[in-house]
Structure 1
Amino acid sequence: MKQIVTCLFLTLSLTAFSQQLTYKSGGTVYNAENKRLSSDEVRQLLANNSEALSLYNAGRSKKTWGNVLFYGGIGLVATNLIIGMNTDNSTTSYPGNGYYPSVKSERTNMTVAIIGGALIVASIPIKIGYPKKIKSALAKYNEGLVENYSPAPKATLLASTNQIGLRIEF
């Protein structure tokens, strides 16, 4: 039982010393001190682990493409609806003697709004999938920290007016 508790304690202490990265919503990555890291800082930290770096870059590019498709689709739909509401597609003609006008009204062309809606729908799976890539990249980085961690003991000689001692840090 003592061996299990000792192994558990050592494993937890190794995890506490590593600079683990955590993922929060919106693609933001935080370090162990709960400080938000920019994407360039995360790339610098992941530079030693090429697999984690490629997963992180793939996740960020998916996020970018998802945002482009989503906001582009919203822009197309909004533009088409605004133009459609502010234009008059009616024509007036006076056939015959001109006393009874004939008014023809045409529907607004909604092709651009349909394309925008398709872009919005296409962006949904992309935006759902990018956090998985970023989380797996951070998990690979955090696993690498635990595997590569080697404690370096540090010995310091302490002296005061009344005593002398040796402090060993692990």
Structure 2
Amino acid sequence: MNDTTSIDSAGIQKLMSVLPHRYPFLLIDKVIKIRGDEFGIGIKNVSANEPQFMGHFPGNPIMPGVLMIEGMAQTGGVLALLTQGGGAGKLVFFMTIDKVKFRKPVIPGDVVEYHMTKFAKKRNIWFYRGEAFVEGKLVAEAELSAMLADA
């Protein structure tokens, strides 16, 4: 039995206790609606003062797609790590990205929801389908896998 049966969300302090990422590369602000490692929604509040917008693109800031994929990966990583004792002594390694599609630009002021659904698990590897939404509209999607290893 995993220890996430009573965890239904994780705020920034919990994320920072589970993930090794820190600003400016911590790309989610919280995870809500956690159902073990099966499903969760990561939230990213996109702000105009984030460093990527200095160069992507001046006068027309657009969230880089690769950072949205990393936000998906971090959300999936939180779900997997929480089911393994909160990540103590574990590292998560991003392994694959497949079937990526970017559908609409994400700009400062948007709130991105990363909906992550596990579709397979083999030993210490988790496979997730990710969909990113802004105001209910699909902006990006991908299939990701990550491996948990001892630190």
TM > 0.5 fold call: no
TM-score (norm 1): 0.22
Which of these two proteins has the greater Rg computed from alpha carbons? Answer: 1
Higher helix share: 1
Structure richer in strand, relative to its length: 2
